[in-house]
Chain A
Amino acid sequence: MYPRAFHYHRAGSLQEASEMLSEFGDEAKLLAGGQSLIPLMKLRYANPNHLVDLNFISGTSYIKEENGTLQFGALTRHAEIEHSTVAGKIPIIHDCAAGIADVQVRNRGTIGGSLAEADPSGDWATVLMTLETEVRCQTSKDDRWLRLADFIKDAYTTVLAHDELVSEVVVKIPPQGSGGAYLAFKRSAPVYPTASAAVQLTMDGEVCNDVAIAMGCVGLTAIKAKDAEKALRGQRVTQKTMTTAVEAARAVAEPQSDMRGSADYKRTLVGSLVKRAIDIAVRRARGERIEAGHIYA
């Protein structure tokens, strides 16, 4: 399939990209990794009149550790994060990066593009909702930082103004004694997950001091399971508290029936993923080395 014809513009800087967006208005789209946008254009679900290519802008792909945070350039590809020892400091980030779609898609797709796309089945938003994540949004005139939770508004919808773009994603490195895990179940490597769960917690001995739980693919955006967090925070992690947390998480899931499964199935699945992710997060917090990530046949 061929996309509709469009005008191609190669931005030399993020500033210039923003200026192009203000010039072309709603008829323009940004091209980052293109692994969502190009398929949508080929199906003619997306028909931008102007395409602004960000891939030739230098200095937009990096992973840096600074002041207790990890900083990701918006155009940093999933594969670069997967293979980065710096990014490996937050294991849940590696879980995510190493399992998104397949090698070929990870070589192209970008962290900034994934967040700005705000696909309800995207992996990054779910994972980064469990960490202190800020998204840097820039126009040619303005520069603002938004908490990830305030950045994504709805399915495929962010608060970005039409001439605004994501330039950087900054994640606070969790304290000592923390552990996290991301589990995403998918039918095969290249597809979006059917359901996913991210858990990031801090342990003090047997007691869970703090915890963040988010679920993906079971709502219009990644869902924070606040009651589930409450069931664990300040508590010993036992079968009983874990069961309460899982029930609370399942209760706030809002899955829809589709070709990936019925709503009931997804609700059950996401509960199991939350449970397993809590278990792995606790064991990782104790220093165990356990593999986690995407599960597929």
Chain B
Amino acid sequence: MPDVMEKVAIKLTVNGKPHSLTVEPRMLLVELIREALDLTGTHVGCDTTYCGACTVLLNGAAVKSCTVFAVQADGSQIMTVEGLEKDGQLHPIQKAFGDAYGLQCGYCTPGLMLSTAQLLSQNQQPSEKEMRKAIAGNTCRCTGYQNILKAIQMASQRMKGA
């Protein structure tokens, strides 16, 4: 094991805001987001690449931020749940999760909303099957998926109209 861990200087943009940081190579992206940037909306659930609570968008693609090293995000654009809201207005996805009762405890919700964001950026009118596939990497242990699917559908309809 190295005695001295050379830190690495990285630059990345999180929710539109540029950051320059020096990080230990073993720091995970989720830890950078939560601990270094204090954006605690991104959750650590299983920490084993299963549950998807830590999902963020890396250059527009949903990733499990517990399974990406922070150094790998150098030069990238990250969006976390805090980046969905604009000028104090909830994003249509956030609004729909509330209106459709798509959450109970809310632990998995940030990850689910970012998986939804990737889906709707690529497919404005997803079928139920496509919605199910898009959130297959996000585990919810209390709401059940019915209202989550309703929320995604509601968001897609509202965003199409916008």
Quick check: which of B47-55, B78-86, B96-104, B152-160 contacts chain A, the rest being far away? B47-55
Contacts of A188 in B (CB 8 A): 136
The CA of A8 and the CA of B9, in the complex, are separated in Å by: 12
Interface residue tally on A, bucketed by range:
35 or more
Which residues of B lie under 8 Å from residue A31 when comparing CB positions?
69, 72
Q: Nearest CB to that of B115 among chain A residues?
A: A103
For window 1-51 of chain A, which residues contact chain B by CB distance below 8 Å? 1-8, 10, 31, 34-35, 38-39, 41-42, 47, 49, 51
Contact B137–A105 (Cβ < 8 Å): yes
Is the pair A6, B61 in contact by a Cβ cutoff of 8 Å?
A: no
| Shortest CB distance B71–A (Å) | 6
Tell me how far the C-beta of B82 lies from the nearest C-beta in chain A, rounded to whole angstroms.
Answer: 19
* A171 located at the interface, meaning its Cβ lies under 8 Å from any Cβ of chain B in the complex: no
Contact B26 A105 (CB under 8 A): no
CB-based contact B2/A189 at 8 Å: no
Question: Contact at B68–A5, with CB atoms within 8 Å?
Answer: no
Instruction: Find the B residue at minimum CB distance from A106.
Output: B137
- State in angstroms the CA–CA spacing of A104 and B54 once bound together: 10
Q: Is B5 in contact with A5, judged by CB distance below 8 angstroms?
A: yes
- Residue ID in chain B nearest A55 by CB atoms: B72
Q: Is A108 located at the chain interface by the 8 A CB criterion? A: yes
> Count the A-B residue pairs with Cβ separation under 8 angstroms: how many?
100
**Residue among B24, B25, B47, B61 making CB contact with A107, cutoff 8 Å:** B61
Select A6's contact among B26, B63, B136, B137, beta carbons within 8 Å: B26
Most buried by A among B50, B64, B118, B138: B64
Closest to B5 in A: A5
**Closest chain A residue to B26 by CB distance?**
A3
Q: Closest Cβ of chain A: how far from B2's Cβ, in Å?
A: 5
Q: Which of A10, A49, A56, A101 contacts B137 (CB 8 A)?
A: A101
| Chain A: CB-nearest residue to B47 | A1
* Cα distance A266–B127 in the bound complex, in angstroms: 33
Interface centre among B6, B47, B66, B133 (most CB of A within 10 A): B133
Query: What separation, in Å, do the CA atoms of A252 and B160 have in the docked complex?
Result: 53
Report how many residues on chain B are interfacial, defined by Cβ distance under 8 Å.
Answer: 37
A104 near B52 (CB under 8 angstroms)? yes
Whether a CB of chain B sits under 8 angstroms from the CB of A102 is yes
Bound complex: CA A101 to CA B136 (Å): 9
- B-side contacts of A190, CB under 8 Å: 49-52, 136-137, 139
How far apart sit A296 and B51, CA to CA, in the bound complex (Å)?
16
Binary contact readout B126-150 vs A (1 if CB under 8 angstroms, 0 otherwise): 0000000110111100000000000
State in angstroms the CA–CA spacing of A8 and B71 once bound together: 9
Bound-state Cα–Cα, A61 to B133, Å: 24
Which of chain A's residues have a CB closer than 8 A to the CB of B125? none
> Is B105 part of the contact surface with A, judged by Cβ < 8 Å?
no
A207–chain B nearest beta-carbon distance, Å: 35
Q: A53 with B136: in contact, given A5-B5, A104-B52 (CB under 8 Å)?
A: no
26 A-B pairs in the complex with CB atoms less than 8 angstroms apart: A2-B26, A5-B26, A6-B5, A6-B26, A8-B25, A8-B69, A34-B67, A35-B67, A38-B67, A38-B68, A39-B48, A102-B52, A102-B137, A103-B115, A103-B119, A103-B137, A104-B52, A104-B62, A104-B137, A105-B49, A107-B61, A188-B136, A189-B136, A190-B50, A190-B52, A190-B136
List residues of A whose CB falls within 8 A of some B CB: 1-8, 10, 31, 34-35, 38-39, 41-42, 47, 49, 51, 53, 55-56, 79, 101-105, 107-108, 188-191, 296
The 3 closest A-B pairs by CB, nearest first: A102-B137, A189-B136, A8-B25
Given contacts A34-B68, A42-B47, A105-B64, 16 further A-B contacts (CB under 8 A): A5-B2, A5-B25, A8-B8, A10-B71, A31-B72, A38-B67, A38-B69, A39-B67, A42-B66, A102-B137, A103-B136, A105-B67, A108-B64, A108-B67, A189-B136, A189-B137
